[in-house]
Structure 1
């Protein structure tokens, strides 16, 4: 938009430490969820490791996070050159904001921790107060910055950031926002998981949702957050279409009747999905299709015979005579004679 507005947040460390990816993600999520800011068209970010999450945003923001519904917004992620602070507009803004606004706060000692400022000779600067005291003072100064007109040589031509923003609002500008959960889900890697009984396993836990109970395929894509411990997981089908939001399954005691009820409900949902799918499939008469296919085939017309064999029975050297089939009475008499002959032979061997 080019209004010169700035979104800031403050982080206090009780012990030694520094800003990490989770901190930056939370601040970014708060900004894109605010109707006065929303999703930017471009992110010009530092090369520090605490900005590593932006590598996931480069692709995810192209469609305002695949799997979530809403208007698209193409966003480019641009990394600055290493060790080139003068080329970063935000560095110049920090210097200006510190010299014109933060320096007016009692107890301010600037960003140089080695320079111990003194209120008077031999007396160091007294602290402003607690962190909770400093937060409202800082944001009060930030609101003052947004309201104070800039110099005529600046990019805002003598107007304040709020005045420029008001002009854009008057001409119809509106933000495209995202919820905090959707931003967290966008900073995620897609992992393939197998669905068993309406659930999948990730990070040692089973996750499920009602959409998975009705899912009729074996594999899904799970958007696993890289920097957060998830309470919910976005689940996509293998084509990248949204299925639902999965939550951890609750482990129940084997004697708890709720476990059996849940299993039965999942089985019913799965069967219902299969029945509904079967209803959507048109009925096909396979036999009729095969008959129609056969009847539609053209007949193959053979070539004319190359010759014809003729047979005159009078010229045959011999004839084949089929044996006469005996009648039933003759066959029984012959079988009886054979049995009697066999018995007589047996008697002769025994006697003789």
Structure 2
């Protein structure tokens, strides 16, 4: 049964089962001669509440010829009382319950039957439904008619501390001004408790401490209240819980960083390899080494922020070993050599020591970096949100690695096991089979559609293909030069045809004789160092071998080394000019200063003091003795010796 007569927008909305706003728009359109849902009812304006300038639309659903176009029936409704806050859900539900009954006229059997059906379906008394319907019609289907009435003291503070405390306060004859001051003190007390270490135990500990401190404060103020008055509700405590950030920021910086306000960046404005984020991901998959021991492989990942692609490099660590610079550098070189990746313009790295080797690429990356962009950026310590690859690792855990055999979950203390009380089953294949399966699954993940953010609606593979179609090409590098860039440069002196690096002797046939040469120490274990040979460039050296004393090969090797030395000497001779040392000496002698010798200070042979210098070989040399005189002298000497001997015996 369709209602008849002139209806307002609210009644028209109830009849057509539409919202009041939609009804108003429909009446406005039909007033301008535009049909609504294929119908064009008679619409007029009348004075009354609900429209602009005191006028409202009315519609006649019956025969247009029977409508009284001249009579203006003033329509007015009693304004509905203001509703309390947070009533939207209640109003919507009540309107839904009575909407079917509102389609039928008041007092009709159809309305009564619909109200009875709604009562059984929604468990509401028919009298309650009639009250809702009557209030809605009385107030022109104003939404506030179906809500709770706003209290007369709405907006005013009715509880200062808590209901039990306020009642006990007023019963003690204390004024409300002091109660309001006490309420403000309690609020600040709760804030302080949330900012203290007590917040770590939860709201219950905050409540306990607050009750005790309230009693102490009342004792200081000389206020006697019963113990039951000191009670704060959970809601009163929890509504100030946002103050816990003070204690978290001071003592749990990692958690505080997770709560930090952040901006949003649109990485779709980047080109591939403009910004690459790298990090290490220990996998939650257990497998076996070739010797049968247990190992958890590790993935070194690189994320291209312009496409959300992930470059992966899997490592099976040795027992007791961690990720080293050798692993990270090897993964980086593999990425640069890949035809779909290449050299990054900007590298966003973690703060681990294994990433420090990339400082040697700063100058190289600065040449290809965008203007004003740092080539290498260090991530903030213990800030997972600052590295976008962290969220991709979590997605890979769910979409890739959790689908593989051997997955034990992220909590190593509570591993996912196939049998209670036993360790998780290991990955059944070899490391090579694991890598092949992981590559296949990651390739499949690259084709999955991203569901949020600037990349919503596309996949990493599709995004990369679009950039390639637009003309993007990778930046390549010479693999030998890139590998050499990570070597540590040092100077060594050649001694006896070898140089010592790390306590080991290394040789090369073209090593210069007793000169300092530049050495590049490798980052890979077991690799030979490189030497920068004058005029030849970089070359790898050979390890010095030990030969058996009787092995003929040792003599041959020694001959080769010595021949190389002779060749080196001859080469040095060709690169020199033979000097004329005698001519140089004559040149120096002829240039020596010449001067006349001055007169002597004393002439000893003519001076009066000559006798003082007797015995100093100033005079002529003594006369030599004859043979007879020499014989007499010897006999006299023997005689004196015998006399001395006899004197000593006596």
TM-score bracket relative to the smaller structure: 0.5 to 0.7
Is 1:192–1:219's contact at 8 Å kept on the other side of the alignment? yes
Name 2:541's counterpart in structure 1.
Answer: 246
Name 1:222's counterpart in structure 2.
Answer: 519
For residues 165 and 177 of structure 1, do their structure 2 counterparts lie closer, same or farther at Cα, with a shift above 3 Å needed? farther
Shift of 1:32: 2.2
1:30-61 residue CA offsets vs partner (Å, 9 max, x unmatched):
222322223222221111233333344445x4
SS of the aligned residue for 1:111 comes to coil
| Structure 1 residue 187 corresponds to structure 2 residue 486 | yes
For residues 263 and 141 of structure 1, do their structure 2 counterparts lie closer, same or farther at Cα, with a shift above 3 Å needed? same
Name 1:90's counterpart in structure 2.
Answer: 389
| Structure 1 residue 235 corresponds to structure 2 residue 532 | yes
Name 1:150's counterpart in structure 2.
Answer: 450
For residues 273 and 198 of structure 1, do their structure 2 counterparts lie closer, same or farther at Cα, with a shift above 3 Å needed? farther
Is 1:232–1:248's contact at 8 Å kept on the other side of the alignment? no
Give the number of the structure whose residues are more often helix, by fraction: 2
Name 2:214's counterpart in structure 1.
Answer: none
Name 1:338's counterpart in structure 2.
Answer: none
Query: Which residue of 339, 342, 345 corresponds with 1:41?
Result: 345
Q: Which runs of 5+ in 2 are unaligned?
A: 1-271, 273-305, 578-650
Pairwise CA RMSD: 3.9
Larger radius of gyration: 2
For residues 147 and 243 of structure 1, do their structure 2 counterparts lie closer, same or farther at Cα, with a shift above 3 Å needed? same
Shift of 1:81: 1.2
Name 1:105's counterpart in structure 2.
Answer: 404
Q: Which runs of 5+ in 1 are unaligned?
A: 64-71, 280-352
Name 1:322's counterpart in structure 2.
Answer: none
SS of the aligned residue for 1:23 comes to helix
For residues 202 and 167 of structure 1, do their structure 2 counterparts lie closer, same or farther at Cα, with a shift above 3 Å needed? same
For residues 102 and 242 of structure 1, do their structure 2 counterparts lie closer, same or farther at Cα, with a shift above 3 Å needed? same
2: distance between equivalents of 1:125 and 1:205?
45
1:167-222 residue CA offsets vs partner (Å, 9 max, x unmatched):
4444150331343x655533332211113465433223333445534xx8822221
Is 1:194–1:219's contact at 8 Å kept on the other side of the alignment? yes
Report the TM-score when normalising by structure 1.
0.61
Name 1:309's counterpart in structure 2.
Answer: none
Is 2:345–2:365's contact at 8 Å kept on the other side of the alignment? no
| Structure 1 residue 175 corresponds to structure 2 residue 475 | yes
| Higher RCO (CA < 8 A, seq sep 6+) | 1
Report the TM-score when normalising by structure 2.
0.35
Q: Which range moved further: 223-232 or 135-144? A: 223-232
> What is the number of residues matched between the two proteins?
266
Shift of 1:93: 0.7
For residues 273 and 161 of structure 1, do their structure 2 counterparts lie closer, same or farther at Cα, with a shift above 3 Å needed? farther
SS of the aligned residue for 2:413 comes to coil
2: distance between equivalents of 1:22 and 1:249?
24
For residues 172 and 115 of structure 1, do their structure 2 counterparts lie closer, same or farther at Cα, with a shift above 3 Å needed? same
Shift of 1:270: 4.4
Shift of 1:164: 3.0
Is 2:349–2:376's contact at 8 Å kept on the other side of the alignment? yes
Is 1:42–1:76's contact at 8 Å kept on the other side of the alignment? yes
| Structure 1 residue 53 corresponds to structure 2 residue 357 | yes
Is 1:193–1:220's contact at 8 Å kept on the other side of the alignment? yes
2: distance between equivalents of 1:120 and 1:209?
60
Name 2:608's counterpart in structure 1.
Answer: none
